[in-house]
Amino acid sequence: MDFEAQPYHLAFRAHHGHVVTCLLLDSERILTGSDDASIHLYDAHTGALQREFEGHKGAVWVIQHEADILVSGSTDQTIRVWNITTGECLHVFQGHTSTVRCLAILQPVKMGTTSGGSTILMPKQPLIISGSRDSTMRVWKLPYPGDRQTYHASPPDGHSDDVHSLRILAGHQKTIRAMAAYGDTVVSGSFDCTVRVWKISTG
């Protein structure tokens, strides 16, 4: 570490004066979500706007990213999956009946070995987990590059016919506001003043 490096501060106006609702940061990029329904990508060193992601019809409340994939949740009740490099919207997941308040991208991790010496990975494939003001969580397959675009409408009962939709986790009585996930477990916190621990593979 270079202890001689001088700290500096950077300030810039974002989203044309609209509220910034969520942020992500890595060594090169700042990603911001806003109540103007868009996501912006800025250079972390200069503050220069590099890309805008547009498509949501309501405020963006949560964003997460993994490598070149960005996932966002909105008051429009949808989850969108984006290519960060191109700005293209790859998938739109519908099924929630209220604002999407929290998201997790879950990658498989080693949980042990079988008696035959094979590695046990959980989850078995990359997942997106979304929590909503509708008091449910939903589990989705993280789309792979080349998967066909999906823009499925949600049936009246709230069940999604999206091929990426795996499971609905229902039990909370009020808005789900926070979650953490690892392996085959997701923990959720709600406005109903409870914490629930779920087994993802079975619900």
The answer to whether residue 99 sits within a structural domain is: yes
Range of the domain at 32: 15-199
174-185 per-position pLDDT tens digit? 999 999 999 999
The answer to whether residue 140 sits within a structural domain is: yes
Q: What's the CATH number where 45 sits?
A: 2.130.10.10
The answer to whether residue 38 sits within a structural domain is: yes
46-63 per-position pLDDT tens digit? 999 999 999 999 999 999
Tell me the pLDDT of the chain averaged across its residues. 89
The answer to whether residue 1 sits within a structural domain is: no
The answer to whether residue 43 sits within a structural domain is: yes
**Rounded mean pLDDT, 138-160:** 63
**pLDDT given for residue 8 in this prediction:** 63
The answer to whether residue 8 sits within a structural domain is: no
Q: How confident is the model at residue 120 (pLDDT cuts 50, 70, 90)?
A: confident
Report the domain count for the chain: 1
Q: How confident is the model at residue 113 (pLDDT cuts 50, 70, 90)?
A: confident
Beta 69-74 vs 79-83: how paired, if at all?
antiparallel
